[in-house]
Amino acid sequence: MTQAIIAHNVFKKFGKPDGSFWKHILKQNSNGQRPVVVAVDSVSFEVQEGEIFGVLGPNGSGKSTLIRLIATLLLPDKGEIKVFGYDVVQQPMEVQRLINRVSVEASFFKKLSPMENLLYGARLYGMNGRESRIRIEEILIRLGLKKRSIFKPMEEMSRGMQQKVAIARALLSRPRLLLMDEPTTGLDPRSKREVQSVIKELNQGSGTTILLTTHDMLEADNLCDRIAIIDSGKIVALDNPQGLKKIISSNGYEPTLEDVFLELTGKTLVKDEIYPLI
C-alpha cells in the first residue's frame, strides 16, 4: 500500500533564545529573552493512502503546525516530510498539486460570492472555468447550500455555511490528501453531522486520504482509522481507537476516547475540586 505521508523526526520551533540588539529592544519580553516555543518535537509517523488519520491534542499542542508543515506553509527546522513520495521542502509544487486544506477559520474574500471564491480556487489549480462553474454548483448544492446563496457575498452567510464552502473549495481540486484542521469546530450539531458524512463519503467513495485534527472525541472515534495523540509537540500515543482505549486500565469499565485523551495529555478532571459540595 502507498504511503500518503511519511514524517520522520520532524522538529519545529518558533522564536530565538538570543537575538540581536534590535531584536532585544523590539521583541524580547520582560524576562529579557524572547520565548522559544517548540511546536513540533521530533515527530515521526506514517499515513497510508486511503486512511483517515486523526490527530488529537490540547490547544497549542502542535496540531495546526504539523498540518502547516505538511501543507508547505511552514518549513521544518529538522526532519523530513514526504507526501506521496515528494519532499515538502524540496518539491513543494508537486506536493501542492496533490493536497488541499480546510482550516478552522474559513478564509475567503468576504465580499465575493462562493462562486467567485471557488472559481478563483479552481483556476489556481489549473481547472477550466466552464467545467468548474458546473462542478462548483454541484458540490455546493450537495453540501446543502441553496442555489441563490451561491451568488451572494460570503459575508452574508453563517459560519457553518462558510465552512461548507471551505470544504467545497478543498474538494474542487480533487486532492489525494486532504488536510482538515478542526473542520467542525463551531458548527451546530446538524452542520457537524453533514460535514462528517461528507468526510466519510469522500474517503470511501474517492479513496481520498484524510488527515483530521479535532477536539471532538466522538468524531475522531467514529471517523478515524488511526489516531495520534499529541501533547507539547510530541506524539504520546498512536493506534486505532480500540487500541488507544486499551492503553488505560479499565477495571471492568469501557474507557472512552476522551478518558484516553485526558489520561495521556495529563489534563485529568478532578471532580472533587470542581464540585466540592457534591
Partner 1 sequence: MATLIHEFRATYAFMERNANLVKRYLSWEVVWLAYSIANSLSVSYIGMGMEQLSGQNIDGRYLVLYLVVGTLVWRYLSLIFYWITDVIGMERWEGTIEYTLMAPVRRVTHMAGQTFFALIYSLIFTSLILAVTVVLFDIDLSHANMFGGTLMLIVGSLSFVGIGIMGSILPLLFPERGSQMTHVIIAVLLLISGVYYPISVLPEFLQKLAVLSPATYVLDGTRLALLEGTPTSELWPLIWPTLIMGLIAIPVGLWVFGMAERYAKRNGKLHRNG
Residue numbers at the binding site for partner 1 (CB under 8 A): 14, 65, 68, 71-75, 93, 96-97, 99, 101, 103, 105, 107-112, 116, 119-121, 123-129, 153, 169
Q: Smallest distance from the beta carbon of 125 to partner 1, in angstroms?
A: 6
Cβ closer to partner 1: 79 or 255? Answer: 79
Assign 8 to helix, strand or coil.
strand
Q: Smallest distance from the beta carbon of 131 to partner 1, in angstroms?
A: 11
Cβ closer to partner 1: 6 or 89? Answer: 89
Q: Smallest distance from the beta carbon of 80 to partner 1, in angstroms?
A: 16
List, as own/partner pairs, every contact residues 68-75 make where C-beta atoms lie below 8 angstroms and the sequence separation is at least 24, other chains included: 69/10, 69/12, 69/40, 70/5, 70/7, 70/99, 70/177, 70/179, 70/211, 71/99, 71/101, 71/179, 72/96, 74/12
Q: Smallest distance from the beta carbon of 34 to partner 1, in angstroms?
A: 12
Cβ closer to partner 1: 33 or 222? Answer: 33
Cβ closer to partner 1: 107 or 250? Answer: 107
Rounded to whole angstroms, the Cα distance separating 40 from 182 reads 18
Cβ closer to partner 1: 154 or 236? Answer: 154
Q: Smallest distance from the beta carbon of 121 to partner 1, in angstroms?
A: 7
Instruction: Count Cβ atoms within 10 A of the Cβ of residue 148 and give its class: 0-12 exposed, 13-18 middle, 19 or more buried.
Output: exposed
Confirm if 238 and 48 have CB atoms less than 8 A apart. no
Q: Smallest distance from the beta carbon of 103 to partner 1, in angstroms?
A: 7
Cβ closer to partner 1: 131 or 201? Answer: 131
Rounded to whole angstroms, the Cα distance separating 3 from 98 reads 13
Under 8 Å CB-to-CB from 183, ≥6 apart: which residues? 102, 104, 163, 166, 167, 195, 199, 212, 214
Query: Which residue blocks in the chain are alpha helix, DSSP H?
Result: 21-26, 63-70, 92-98, 114-124, 129-142, 159-172, 189-206, 217-223, 241-247, 257-264, 271-274
Q: Smallest distance from the beta carbon of 126 to partner 1, in angstroms?
A: 4
Cβ closer to partner 1: 107 or 204? Answer: 107
